[in-house]
Amino acid sequence: MSENDVDLKLKPKNKPKLERPKLYKVILVNDDFTPRDFVIMVLMSVFRISEDAGYKVMMTAHKLGSCVVVVCARDIAETKATEGIDLAKEAGFPLMFTTEPEE
């Protein structure tokens, strides 16, 4: 190799390792008080899902205790969970959403 040749095998030193940002689950939690139709309405308005999808998510939480609604960036997940909880609070229902990092 002459002086002017570039050694393509050389790797840049100190290449910054960018971690992929963690994704977060928004989880709908079942309770005994919030009406089913209200849960579906909250899911449709906060998460922009269809009535059919909302019904399926609601029934899964109703039967199993909880259901993942969406997986997204942490700030979006937390905002959506808060929006859902606040809508329920205003209407006097104890509906709960939680967020947790995806594995």
Give the residues lining the site for ligand TYC (CB under 6 A).
Answer: 28-32, 34-36, 39, 58, 61-62, 95
Least spacing, CB of residue 12 vs ligand TYC, in Å: 50
Could you tell me the smallest distance in angstroms from the CB atom of residue 52 to ligand TYC? 16
CA geometry: angle at 56 spanning 55 and 58, to 5°?
65
- Which of 57, 25, 29, 26 is closest to 41 using CA atoms? 57
Give 29 or 68: the residue with its C-beta nearer to ligand TYC. 29
By beta-carbon proximity to ligand TYC, the closer residue of 56 and 78 is: 56
| Sign, CA torsion 54/66/77/74 | negative
